[in-house]
């Protein structure tokens, strides 16, 4: 084991320690003194210098320069940061915020620690190209970590804060006094009714479109136009669906009244591209020989599709539909002008009456936070909504995994 | 169906009828797109007729009958760019990790987890963003309120991650394996192969992923509405991420319930702007995606 | 974790060595390979002689592609693969834990079944290997040398900056050979290099192989027995993952010792 590797290992350990410490303080918003930061930066710069000098002078390969430069940078940052006023006031630029030293120092420690650790891989691997590879992998692991961290935070917070509000009463009663008491029972039922109705509307449309695209016409102008339309529909913002639902379904079809059916129709338009695309994918995954074999036996195209192609692709189609419904269950914008009331709609009884729904319920409760004591109820609503939506997604994922193993 | 009738039409002509039915269903999407445009336009027309180019000015004052949508348009694009600054580096890193580095087992675990990120409803993102992130930033920076562009950018950055990850993952998977093998056989490391063969090969697919992510960020409604504060003004100075402002989506969502008359019409105009921008982005990204596919599959 | 660090730190220990007989460039010794539970190679032993062409023949699925991919550790890119045994290159075991498989692949170049040029210009295709290996060579000279050696220089010298995908299949395959030559390898592996080509392009590649053996050691997998007979000096016959017979090409084709070989050569084989 050579001296170079020991030094490189030390740089990694020290830098990673500083980065973790910085992150911890950033997360907890705790105070961090000037001397703490200067001390930890000094630690990094000393090992960097050791490594840089070792390479630059003792070994003939003059590759220690980045380490020397970085060591100098960190050292001067440690020395100069004493001149940063506490807190950093941006008001002279008409930006009304003050950045406290604790935040600035923690962020700087986090970043310099991460970069120092990154630099340590190359000397560790003898400056071969493997070193660059390990360094790059380390960056990818970090991005993965930074992606999973918010997900963890969101789910952790909703579960811990929402659990307290979920009681039997909350699950089985209508709201009382603007959400301060009572529960979300009609909203749960409303959401479930809405997505069931959406499923009934969207399945034939989506699967029919997919069958046309995958089985009947593969090329040509019509297909290109249809496919572009599906893609545009997929990218269309949900608020635009809401506007359209209001302008067409509510104002023209239903006489200016919000109702369950108008909401379900709007959500069907929203989920149509998702169902179409996954159904098309499922149909395309059926091997072509199967179709040829059936056609060669004298079956018509429609018989082939019905008997040979549709049954094995059913799980895939179902997965896509369920995923689309999961998205629909969580949407607020398309239904807020077309189908929902905050309170008073009661349990859904007719297609032509408005309903209550969980996402809109959460929005309304949020608007009341600060005026009334509803934050606990809001967290609980968020938890129930999350459980329903993720439960639907979970079903879809399980369906897909089963289906994948079969082929 | 009566038996005689079934005999009259031959099986193949019946097949033609079935085909026609499916064609009818398939044109539904096209129909919806044109309906959306037509009905939005009908509702928006009174405002366009009355204000004309005044709708693009930056003055919004309901009592003086001034409805300039520019601050909202600016806010939408500003937030989308900020969100991309968060989500593109993270998303690309994760996509490269998933498609090129991770073993199959890890991939099988990670993909559903990242899909969870896409599954969380936007209203929940908004709620969390306003309550937790908003308060965190408010405490840390002593801001004037919990609403800010910065919080919206961070939350939208997270929300755009899944789409960027999955689309660029697809793009990199579509680079043929024998091309990657050729690079490895020449003595390149895996990382060199990723950098010099996979990413250049998938570049148009990756840019389409970025555009789709931006489209998602521009079109996002509920999360932005709760976080941004929906104050109809430009941030001062224009790059001030700590200020509040508005977006097209939040403007529509907030005012739709409580306005009437010409304002509704103005909101529909905002809807048309939004729809046009996102539709153009979808088309561009679609073209880029097919280009990646043709690049490798066309020659074989 | 500490065990892993320890392992990394002790990586500097030296590679396993042996003395190979004269003129033997590579030696496969008692080599087994599994895909998960399926054994694809069963204790294979084979010598590859320097500056000669060694052909590997056999019915499809017999493991000839797997064997040739073992010679530069390309099988390492498939996660389910497990190996046992040794492959010696110039007396070094390339399957030693210490050996750097990236370095092996520079010394042992490879040409694949389907022509697979990168989607960039012709000269960048050729120079790619030098670039990733950090070789300090002149770009123009290297490109010219390799393209000339691969007998494609005259066809492409005026359009070196054109995209390589615009070439025809045979040209693409010769470009891939040129690309493999750029890293100055000692051995060149060819995995059915002509299977995707027409007869004229095939003849060109066969002439090229004959040229190449002056400077390089060539190992070629082919399902075409006439091709093996035309280009190779030594032939190995494989069946169901086992090396049935190995010897001079003339001997294998004129006087096979094993029944199975004779059946295959004479075409009386399923």
* Same domain as A138, residue A177: no
Host domain of residue A314 = 170-406
Which three-class secondary structure string do you get for chain B? CCHHHHHHCCHHHHHHHHHHHHHHHHHHHHHHHHHHHHHHHHHHHHHHHHHHHHHHCCCEECCCCEECCHHHHHHHHHHHHHHHHHHHHHHHHHHHHHHHHCCHHHHHHHHHHHHHHHHCCHHHHHHHHHHHHHHHHHHHHCCCCCCCHHHHHHHHHHHHHHHHHHHHHHHHHCCCHHHHHHHHHCCCCHHHHHHHHHHHHCHHHHHHHHHHHHHHHHHCCHHHHHHHCCCCCCCCCCCCCCCCCCCHHHHHHHHHCCCCCHHHHHHHHHHHHHHHHHHHHHHHHHHHHHHHHHHHHCCC
DSSP class of A247? I
Give the 3-state secondary structure of residue A85.
coil
Between chain A and chain B, how many beta carbons pairs sit less than 8 Å apart?
275
Does the pLDDT value for residue A395 go beyond 80? yes
Q: Both A150 and A177 in a single domain? A: no
Tokens of A169: 């009463």
**pLDDT greater than 80 at residue A79:** yes
Q: Is the pLDDT of residue A327 over 70?
A: yes
Q: How many Å apart are CA C216 and CA C209, to the nearest integer?
A: 10
Using CA coordinates, name the residue in chain C closest to A4. Answer: C9
Which of A150, A238, A362 shows the shortest C-beta gap to B127?
A: A362
Q: Is A319 helix (H, G, I), strand (E, B) or coil?
A: helix
Q: Do B187 and C133 touch (CB under 8 A)?
A: yes
ipTM for the complex shown: 0.88
Residues A153 and A218 placed together within one structural domain of the fold: no
Same domain, A210 and A73: no
Which pLDDT score is estimated for A407?
A: 47
| Contact call for residues A78 and A94 (beta carbons, < 8 A) | no
User: Is the CB of residue A258 less than 8 Å from the CB of residue A337?
Assistant: yes
For all residues of chain A together, what is the average pLDDT?
Answer: 84
Residue B38 pLDDT grade (very low, low, confident, very high; cuts 50, 70, 90): very high
pLDDT at B7 over 70: no
C132/B103 touch (CB, cutoff 8 Å), yes or no: no
Do A361 and A307 share a domain, yes or no?
yes
Question: What is the spatial distance between Cα C162 and Cα C148, in angstroms, rounded to a whole number?
Answer: 17
Would you state the torsion angle of the CA atoms of residues B290, B291, B295, B296, taken in this order, to the nearest 10 degrees?
-30
Assess whether A236 and A262 both reside in one domain. yes
Instruction: Assign residue A209 the CATH number of its domain.
Output: 1.10.3720.10
Number of domains present in the structure of chain A? 2
Co-location of A241 and A317 in the same domain? yes
Burial label, C267 (beta-carbon count in 10 A; 0-12, 13-18, 19+): exposed
CB A244 within 8 A of CB B36: yes
Chain B residues near any Cβ of chain C (below 8 Å): 103-104, 176, 178-179, 181-189, 192, 196-197, 200-201, 295-296, 299
Of A117-126, A285-294, C8-17, give the lowest mean pLDDT range: C8-17
A2 contacts in chain C (CB < 8 Å): 12
Confidence band (pLDDT; 50, 70, 90) for C1?
A: low
Query: And the tokens for B156?
Result: 């939208």
Work out the burial of residue A211: count CB atoms within 10 Å of its CB; fewer than 13 is exposed, 13-18 middle, 19 or more buried.
Answer: buried
User: Is C270's pLDDT higher than 50?
Assistant: no
DSSP state of A305: I
pLDDT over 50 at B300, yes or no: no
Angle between helix B262-297 and B248-256 (nearest 10): 140
Interface probe for A, chosen from C2, C4, C9, C13 (most Cβ of A below 10 Å), is C9
Lowest mean pLDDT among A70-84, B174-188, B192-206, C170-184: A70-84
Q: What is the CATH number of domain C16-266?
A: 3.40.50.300
Which residue has 């709708």 as its token pair? B55
Q: How far is A169 from chain B (nearest CA, A)?
A: 23
- Same structural domain for residues A111 and A185? no
Nearest to A5 among C9, C132, C133 (CB): C9
Q: How far, in Å, CA of B133 to CA of B152, rounded?
A: 9
Q: Tell whether A25 and A124 lie within a shared domain.
A: yes
pLDDT of residue B277: 93
How confident is the model over A7-31, as pLDDT tens digits?
Answer: 888 888 888 888 888 888 888 877 7
- Given this model, what pLDDT does residue B9 score? 59
**Can you list the alpha helix ranges (DSSP code H) found in C39-149?**
64-70, 101-107, 122-132, 139-149
- DSSP conformation class of A56: I
CB proximity B281 to A under 8 Å? yes
Nearest residue to B206 via CA among B158, B178, B173 = B173
Q: What pLDDT sits at residue C255?
A: 86
What confidence tens digit (pLDDT) does each residue in A157-214 have?
A: 999 998 888 888 888 777 776 767 778 888 888 999 999 999 999 999 999 999 998 8
pLDDT tier for residue A60 given thresholds of 50, 70 and 90:
low
The token duo for B79 is: 């937030």
Looking at residue B299, what is its pLDDT? 43
Q: Is the Cα torsion angle A292, A293, A295, A299 positive or negative in sign? A: negative
Token reading at A71: 């060591």
Among A146, A162, A178, which residue terminates a domain? A162
What's the CA dihedral at C136, C138, C144, C147 to 10 degrees?
Answer: 20
Give the pLDDT confidence of B237-248 residue by residue, as tens digits: 888 888 888 899
Q: In the predicted model, what is the mean pLDDT of residues C108-112?
A: 89
Cβ neighbours around A218 below 10 Å, total: 9
What does the pLDDT average to over A104-125? 85
CA B215 to chain centre: 3
Q: Which residues does chain C have within 8 Å of residue A124's beta carbon, measured at their own beta carbons?
A: 8
Give the residue-averaged pLDDT of B27-35. 91
Give the H or E element holding residue C191: strand C187-191
Locate B270 and state its tokens.
């905002």
Average pLDDT over residues C113-123: 87
Same domain membership, residue A348 and residue A302: yes
Residue for token pair 């911890």? A24
Which residues are bridge partners to C26 per DSSP?
C48, C89
Q: Give the DSSP per-residue string, A220-245.
A: SHHHHHHHHHHHHHHHS-HHHHHHHI
* Candidates B96, B212, B271; nearest CB to A140: B96
Query: What percent of chain C clears pLDDT 90, i.e. is strictly above it?
Result: 13
Q: Which residues pair with C47 in a beta bridge?
A: C27
Q: Are residues A107 and A177 in the same domain?
A: no
- Please compute Rg for chain B using Cα positions: 24
* Residue A348 and residue A374 in one domain: yes
- The β-bridge partners of C195 are none
**Which residue on chain A is closest to B282 by alpha carbon?**
A232
Answer whether B185 sits within 8 Å of C133, measured CB to CB: no
The verdict on a CB contact (< 8 Å) between B36 and A244 is yes
Cα–chain center distance at A144: 13
Residues in chain C within 8 Å Cβ distance of B187: 102-103, 105-106, 129, 132-133, 183
Which pLDDT belongs to residue C4?
64
C contact set with B (CB within 8 A): 72, 74, 77, 79, 102-103, 105-106, 109-110, 112-114, 116-120, 128-129, 131-133, 165, 176, 179-180, 182-183
CB nearest C102 (choices: A9, A124, A129)? A129
Residue of B93, B120, B192 lying closest to A143 (CB–CB): B93
Q: Which residues of C touch B200 (CB under 8 A)?
A: 119-120
Residues of chain C positioned with their CB less than 8 A from the CB of A10 = none
Answer yes or no: are the C-beta atoms of A274 and A320 closer than 8 Å.
yes
> Which residue in chain C has the smallest CA separation from A8?
C9
Q: Mean pLDDT across the stretch C85-112? A: 84
pLDDT digits (tens, 9 = 90+) for A348-381: 778 888 888 889 988 888 888 877 778 888 899 9
* Domain termination site, one of A162, A197, A224: A162
* Interval B160-186 mean pLDDT: 90
Query: Would an 8 Å CB–CB cutoff place A3 in contact with chain B?
Result: no
Token look-up 């299977």 returns C195
User: Which structure tokens are listed for A271?
Assistant: 């989920």
Phi, psi of B211, deg, nearest 5? -65, -40
Record the tokens describing residue A49, joined without a space: 């210098």
Average pLDDT score over residue span C121-133: 88
Q: Tell me which DSSP letter residue C12 carries.
A: G
> What tens digit of pLDDT does each residue of C42-63 get?
989 998 988 999 999 988 888 8
Q: Give me the half-sphere count of Cα atoms (radius 13 Å) on the Cβ side of residue B250.
A: 31
Contact B215, B278 (CB under 8 A): yes
Q: Which of A162, A180, A214 is the last residue of a domain?
A: A162
Tell me: pLDDT of A306 over 90. no
A6 token code pair: 């020991």
């Amino acid at each position: 084991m050579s001296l170079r590797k020991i030094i490189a290992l030390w740089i990694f350990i020290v830098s990673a320690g500083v980065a973790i410490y910085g992150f911890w303080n950033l997360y907890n918003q705790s105070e961090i003194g000037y001397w703490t930061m200067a001390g930890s930066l000094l630690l990094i710069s000393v090992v960097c210098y050791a490594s840089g000098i070792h390479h630059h002078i003792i070994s003939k390969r003059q590759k220690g320069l980045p380490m020397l430069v970085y060591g100098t940078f960190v050292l001067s940052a440690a020395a100069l940061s004493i001149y940063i006023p506490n807190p950093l006031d941006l008001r002279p630029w008409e930006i009304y915020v003050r950045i406290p030293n604790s935040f600035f120092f923690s962020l700087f420690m986090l970043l310099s620690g991460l970069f120092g650790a990154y630099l340590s891989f190359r000397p560790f691997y003898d400056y071969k190209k493997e070193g660059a590879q390990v360094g790059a992998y380390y960056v990818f692991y970090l991005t993965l970590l930074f992606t999973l961290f918010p997900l963890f935070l969101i789910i952790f917070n909703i579960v811990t804060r929402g659990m307290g509000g979920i009681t039997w009463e909350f699950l089985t009663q209508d709201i009382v006094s603007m959400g301060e008491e009572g529960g979300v029972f009609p909203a749960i039922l409303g959401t479930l009714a809405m997505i069931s109705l959406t499923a009934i509307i969207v399945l034939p449309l989506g699967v029919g479109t997919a069958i046309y695209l995958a089985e009947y016409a593969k090329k040509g102008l019509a297909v290109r136009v249809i496919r572009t339309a599906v893609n545009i529909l997929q990218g269309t913002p949900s608020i635009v669906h809401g506007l359209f639902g209001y302008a067409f379904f509510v104002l023209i079809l239903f006489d200016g009244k919000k109702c369950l059916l108008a909401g379900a129709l709007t959500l069907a338009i929203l989920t149509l591209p998702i169902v179409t695309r996954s159904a098309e994918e499922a149909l395309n995954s059926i091997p072509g020989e199967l179709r040829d074999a059936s056609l060669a036996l004298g079956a018509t195209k429609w018989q082939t599709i019905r008997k040979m192609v549709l049954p094995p692709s059913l799980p895939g189609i179902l997965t896509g539909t369920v995923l689309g419904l999961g998205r629909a269950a969580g949407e607020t914008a398309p239904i807020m002008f077309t189908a929902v009331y905050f309170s008073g709609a009661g349990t859904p009884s007719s297609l032509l009456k408005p309903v209550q729904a969980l996402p809109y319920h959460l929005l309304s409760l949020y608007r009341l936070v600060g005026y009334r004591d509803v934050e606990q109820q809001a967290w609980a609503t968020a938890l129930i909504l999350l459980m329903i939506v993720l439960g639907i997604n979970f079903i879809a994922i399980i369906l897909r995994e089963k289906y994948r193993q079969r082929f | 169906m009566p038996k005689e009738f079934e005999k009259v039409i031959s099986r193949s002509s019946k097949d033609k009828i079935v085909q026609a039915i499916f064609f009818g269903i398939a044109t539904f999407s096209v129909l919806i797109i044109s309906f959306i445009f037509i009905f939005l336009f009908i509702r928006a027309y009174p405002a366009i007729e009355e204000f004309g180019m005044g709708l693009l000015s930056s003055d919004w004052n309901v009592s003086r009958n001034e409805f300039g949508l520019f601050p909202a348009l600016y806010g939408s694009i500003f937030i989308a760019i900020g969100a991309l600054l968060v989500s593109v580096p993270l998303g690309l890193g994760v996509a490269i990790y998933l498609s090129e580095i991770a073993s199959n087992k890890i991939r099988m675990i990670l993909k559903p987890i990242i899909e969870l990120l896409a599954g969380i409803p936007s209203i929940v993102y908004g709620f969390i963003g306003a309550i937790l992130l908003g308060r965190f930033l408010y405490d840390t920076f002593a801001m004037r309120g919990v609403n800010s562009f910065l919080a919206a950018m961070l939350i939208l950055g997270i929300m755009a991650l899944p789409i960027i990850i999955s689309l660029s993952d697809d793009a990199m998977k579509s680079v043929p394996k024998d091309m990657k093998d050729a690079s490895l056989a020449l003595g390149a490391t895996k990382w060199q192969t990723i950098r010099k063969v996979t990413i250049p090969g998938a570049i148009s697919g990756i840019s389409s992923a970025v555009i789709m992510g931006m489209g998602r960020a521009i079109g996002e409604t509920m999360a932005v509405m709760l976080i941004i504060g929906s104050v109809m003004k430009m941030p001062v100075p224009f790059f001030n991420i700590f200020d509040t402002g508005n977006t097209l989506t939040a403007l529509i969502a907030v005012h739709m319930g409580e306005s009437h008359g010409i304002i509704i019409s103005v909101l529909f105009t905002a809807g048309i702007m939004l729809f046009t921008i996102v539709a153009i982005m979808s088309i561009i990204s679609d073209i880029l995606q097919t280009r990646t596919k043709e690049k490798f599959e066309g020659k074989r | 974790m500490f065990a892993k660090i320890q392992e990394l730190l002790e990586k500097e220990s030296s590679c396993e060595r042996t003395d190979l007989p004269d003129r033997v460039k590579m030696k496969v010794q008692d080599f087994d390979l599994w895909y998960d539970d399926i054994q694809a190679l069963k204790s294979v032993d084979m010598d590859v002689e320097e500056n000669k062409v060694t052909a590997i023949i056999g019915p499809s699925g017999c493991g000839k592609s797997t064997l040739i991919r073992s010679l530069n550790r390309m099988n390492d890119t498939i996660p389910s693969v497990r190996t046992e045994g040794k492959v010696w290159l110039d007396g070094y075991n390339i399957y030693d834990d210490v050996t750097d498989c990236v370095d092996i692949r520079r010394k042992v170049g490879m040409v694949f079944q389907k022509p697979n040029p990168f989607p960039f210009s012709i000269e960048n295709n050729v120079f790619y290997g030098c670039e990733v290996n950090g070789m300090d060579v002149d770009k123009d000279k290297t490109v010219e040398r390799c393209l000339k050696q691969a007998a494609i220089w005259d066809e492409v010298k005026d359009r070196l900056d054109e995209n390589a995908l615009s070439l025809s299949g045979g040209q693409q395959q010769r470009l891939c050979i040129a690309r493999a030559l750029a890293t100055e390898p000692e051995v060149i592996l060819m995995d059915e290099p002509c299977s995707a080509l027409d007869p004229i392009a095939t003849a060109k590649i066969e002439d090229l192989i004959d040229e190449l053996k002056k400077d390089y050691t060539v190992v070629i997998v082919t399902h075409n027995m006439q091709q093996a007979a035309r280009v190779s000096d030594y032939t190995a016959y494989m069946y169901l993952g086992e090396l049935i017979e190995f010897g001079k090409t003339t001997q294998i084709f004129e006087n096979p010792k094993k029944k199975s070989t004779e059946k295959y050569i004479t075409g009386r084989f399923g």
